[in-house]
Structure 1
Amino acid sequence: MASTGNLAESRDATGAGAPLTVGWFSSGRGEGSYGLLKAALDTIESGDLPVKIAFVFINRVKGQTKRTDRFLELVDSHDIPLVTLSSRDFRRSHGNRPWNELREEFDRAAIELLRPHSADIAVHAGYMLIAPLLCSEFVTLNVHPALPGGTIGMWQQAVWDVIAGGLDEAGAMIHVSTEDVDEGPVVATSRFSVRGDGFDSLWAEISGFDVGALKEDPGEDLPLFRAIRNASMLRERPFLIETLKAVAAGRIDPTGAGEVVDLTPVVELAAGG
């Protein structure tokens, strides 16, 4: 199993030119999680990403939802070792106790299941659980849909915070996962404008409206909300891929000890922005 040790020493031991090995953590809930994994696999197969996905861990099981089953089928189709542990079933088997009382127990169970596997780093790509022990067991990078100093929490709140703040730009960061949720050292950022063509008319539509009321109706169907979310998703996949490329090349230190790298130019190029 990978640990929080020295990545350079670990990779040197495997030989020069060896691909970066990655443990992939996901909740496999929707298109975002599926798209991140598929984009990574497609780029690996094209030869443009010197990475090997050593295993995939998902906190769901087959039959839980159709979207989860689709995610699991993607993993199986690439013969990647798959480790599953349903957080829903885990909670039920522990008397439906509050999840904040079960996080560490769940992590311990996950760690035991993962002992046969190893990786240079781990990536949380749509992994929806707070993982206080897992992030100590692995050098872990988390994709977070807000810029440093912005939203802590889910992507939905990140979009609403952009709207409520009348901000000119949005973006994402990749940071080291720690026990402090969404507050670990940042290793990379990517930002984009939410003004200009495709946005200004949508901002005008909500001028004078209370954002709290808009959250109730029309909610996430608000055209401006959808536009910001779509722009974010368009960039999320190349952002993660470019970050992994930079880690593999030694330009980004996944422990967070190096400088923050702004990947906006290369991400915008990939996204057609």
Structure 2
Amino acid sequence: MAERGPVRLAVLVSGNGTNLQAIMDHIASGEINATIVCVVSNRQDAFALERAEKHGIPAIALESGAYANRREYDAALVEILRNHGAQLVVLAGFMRILTDVMVTAYPHAIMNIHPALLPAFPGLHAQKQALDHGVRFAGCTVHFVDCGTDTGPIILQAVVPVREDDTEESLSARIQHEEHRIYPEAVRLFCAGKICVDGRRVRLSP
């Protein structure tokens, strides 16, 4: 059997890009068989774009103000991704909800990470939601993106115990530590051809 070539990744960002950095580090170490073909942000000032440029990766700011609605924005985004030959789209703190335009262009090929144990606490401020609800365990979830908000098939999850003295900031920091571990692993599994989506269930090959 012929060896699989590197998967072409596109990473969508809005802020600092720590998950982008974690994925870049795992690619550089040879743990992920992939190459990042572009990093796209909806914010011109996103530090993640600087991270990309430092590594010689095309960094593109696609701000939403020039587009009439979310579907038009996503159509422009799809064009950029296709022009760069992206095969997998990774959301790394991308603060926009994708429309059907993006989801149908990349079925089961858009990943996101959410700082909660989905399906609990979707949407914004998941860590605060968890603390307000009084849960004993929080965590993070890597999932495929569908047209809902954090509702796509779950790939990997990590559990983080909630401490009595936790604040939103302290819990977020421990969850982010786990994000940097399981997100690259999910990307690695995809790039190795070890992920199969069966309805809502994601099956992982040994």
Name the TM tier (shorter chain).
0.7 to 0.9
8 Å Cα contact 1:24/1:57 also seen in 2: yes
Q: For structure 1, which runs of at least 5 residues remain unmatched after alignment?
A: 1-11, 95-101, 203-222, 262-273
What's the CA shift for 1:74? 1.4
Q: CA deviation at 1:256?
A: 6.4
Alignment partner of 1:49 is 2:32: yes
8 Å Cα contact 2:121/2:130 also seen in 1: no
Question: 2-side partners of 1:18 and 1:76: how far apart?
Answer: 24
Partner of 2:102: 134
Aligned to 2:138, the other structure's residue is in SS state strand
Q: Which amino acid in structure 1 is aligned with residue 83 of structure 2?
A: P
More strand as a share of residues: 2
Is 1:166 aligned to 2:134, yes or no? yes
Q: 2:145 aligns with which of 151, 158, 177?
A: 177
In the alignment, the residues of structure 1 paired with residue 200 and residue 120 of structure 2 have an alpha-carbon distance, to the nearest angstrom, of 21
**TM superposition score normalised by structure 1:** 0.67
Match for 1:144 among 114, 130, 138? Answer: 114
Identity of aligned residues (%): 27
Q: Given the alignment of the two structures, is residue 112 of structure 1 paired with residue 89 of structure 2, yes or no?
A: no
Q: CA deviation at 1:167?
A: 0.8
TM-score, structure 2 length as denominator?
0.87
Match of 1:247 in 2: 190
Q: Is the CA contact 2:141–2:158 (under 8 Å) kept in the aligned structure 1? A: yes
* d(CA) in 1 for partners of 2:157, 2:200: 15
Distance of 1:75 and 1:40 partners within structure 2: 11
**1:170 offset after TM fit, Å?**
0.5
**Match of 1:166, as an amino acid?**
G
- Which entry has the higher C-alpha Rg, 1 or 2? 1
Q: Cα 1:122–1:238, aligned 2, differ >3 Å: closer, same or farther?
A: same
Which of 90, 94, 97 is residue 66 of structure 2 equivalent to? 90
Deviation of 1:255 (Å): 7.9
CA distance in 1, matches of 2:79, 2:170: 42
Q: Is the alpha carbon distance of 1:119 and 1:253 closer, same or farther for their aligned partners in structure 2, counting shifts above 3 Å?
A: farther
Name the amino acid aligned to 2:62.
L
Q: Which residue of 2 aligns with 1:19?
A: 6
Say whether 1:187 aligns with 2:170.
no
Return the offset for 1:254.
6.2
> How many residue pairs end up in the alignment?
201
- Corresponding residue number in structure 2 for 1:97: none
2:41, 2:60 within 8 Å by CA — same for their partners in 1?
yes
Superposed, 1:255-270 pairs within 5 Å as 258-259=201-202
User: Separation in 2 of the partners of 1:75 and 1:147?
Assistant: 29
Q: Deviations over 1:117-154 (max 9, x none)?
A: 11221111111111111122122111111112211212
- Describe the shift of the 1:113–1:45 C-alpha distance in structure 2 as closer, same or farther (beyond 3 A): closer
Aligned-partner residue type, residue 131 of structure 1: L
Once the two structures are superposed, what CA deviation does each residue of 1:81-127 show, in whole Å capped at 9, x if it has no partner?
Answer: 2332112x326xx5xxxxxxx11111122223333111221111111
Change (3 A) 1:146 1:161: same
Tell me whether 1:228 sits opposite 2:171 in the alignment: yes
Alignment correspondent of 1:124: 91
Deviations 1:231-254 (A, max 9, x none): 111111111011112222333236
SS in 1 for 2:169: helix
